[in-house]
Amino acid sequence: MSTKKLLTGVLLLLVLLLTACNSSGEDAQSSTSSDKKEDSKDETIVFGETTWTSTLLPTQISKQILEKAGYKVETKQISQPLIFKGLQNKEIDFFMDAWLPHTEAELWSKYKDDLQKVATSYEDVPLGWVVPEYVEESTIKDLKGKASKFDERVVTIAAGAGIVEISKQVINDYGLENYELIKSGEATMIATLDDAIEKEEPIIITGWRPHSMFAKYDLKFLEDSKENFKKDNVYVLSYKGLEKDHPKAYKILSEWGIKVSELEEMMLKYEEDGTSFEKLAEQWINNHQEKVNNMLESAEES
């Protein structure tokens, strides 16, 4: 074989090798890009939710946003203490309604080493004992010696919630032992309020904002001079390390936020018109498309 033919053969071989390497690199790059787009399709995100409307609406909105990003999304409706436990065990990924640093201080203290704040839903929101505006009393201190006027009760939500535990302390601090803390579901508490207001009877319930009751009725918080009830921020929680397990979902929800007034308007539509949470969430997303697009795009860029 001549030297010329040998050199020609070597050059052809080199060209073939370079072409193959380049093609392989492009395929790998294309595969990586494709994987990035598809990486959420086989992932499932689990939200823990209570039966409170302040939890259900933000959860439904977030669920639909994550579904737009390609995630499968499930919800587990359980009590708040079990949600915190589920977050610690990584059985639950997100909780949209954690009141801190005050209301849920006990739960946070127990689980804070394993949990993290992902985003702030809204800030500086009140909670406490609530009465109709027509009730003469304006402070918790005014209630002493008047238990019979209020049917000897304070109607609240289910046991385990922070507002219930604080209410027990309020009864002790103000010497209101003649009042019984009646625990029930939120719907039962609101139905009791509805009935009392219809009859213009005095009643005490536990209340918080956002809630549709404040859009529906003239209500007031009883002043708490001992400061058992303090204004809180409401956070989205996850377990620590979720940003590594589900980086895209973490990035999307780290951009979350909503106005209290928007939630209360949607809650009232749910109660008065029967508009489903799913429909209300869809409407909110349509009305805030720029914000939602920014949330989704920020995850793609990360």
User: pLDDT per residue over 242-300, tens digit each?
Assistant: 999 999 999 999 999 999 999 999 999 998 899 999 999 999 999 999 999 999 998 88
Tally of domains within the chain:
2
Whether residue 26 has pLDDT greater than 60? no
Average pLDDT over residues 189-210: 97
Please tell me whether the peptide bond between 210 and the residue prior to it is cis, using omega within 30 degrees of 0: yes
Do 53 and 104 fall into the same domain?
A: yes
Do 238 and 293 fall into the same domain?
A: yes
Do 120 and 237 fall into the same domain?
A: yes
How would you classify the pairing of strands 180-183 and 153-156? parallel
Decide: 269 and 86 in contact? Cβ < 8 Å. Answer: no
Whether 295 is in a domain gets the answer yes
- Residue 142's domain comprises 127-221
Do 114 and 236 fall into the same domain?
A: yes
Q: Domain boundary at 173, 195, 221, which?
A: 221
For residue 302, what pLDDT band results from cuts at 50, 70 and 90? Answer: low
Do 111 and 69 fall into the same domain?
A: yes
Whether residue 23 has pLDDT greater than 70? no
Do 244 and 102 fall into the same domain?
A: yes
Which of 108, 102, 97 shows the shortest CA–CA distance to 231? 102
CA 169 to each of CA 4, 78, 117, 162, 228: distance values in angstroms, whole numbers, following the listed order: 97, 25, 27, 11, 8
pLDDT, position 41: 66
pLDDT, position 2: 47
User: pLDDT per residue over 84-132, tens digit each?
Assistant: 999 999 999 999 999 999 989 999 999 999 999 999 999 999 999 999 9
Indicate the SS3 state at residue 154: strand
Whether 140 is in a domain gets the answer yes
User: pLDDT per residue over 51-79, tens digit each?
Assistant: 888 999 999 999 999 999 999 999 999 99
pLDDT, position 82: 97
The span from the CA of 261 to the CA of 122, in Å, is 10
Do 57 and 194 fall into the same domain?
A: no
Do 106 and 140 fall into the same domain?
A: no
Whether residue 6 has pLDDT greater than 80? no
| HSE-up (13 A, CA, CB side) for residue 118 | 30
Whether 13 is in a domain gets the answer no
Do 263 and 290 fall into the same domain?
A: yes
CA 299 to each of CA 56, 108, 156, 241, 254: distance values in angstroms, whole numbers, following the listed order: 24, 28, 40, 17, 10
pTM: 0.76
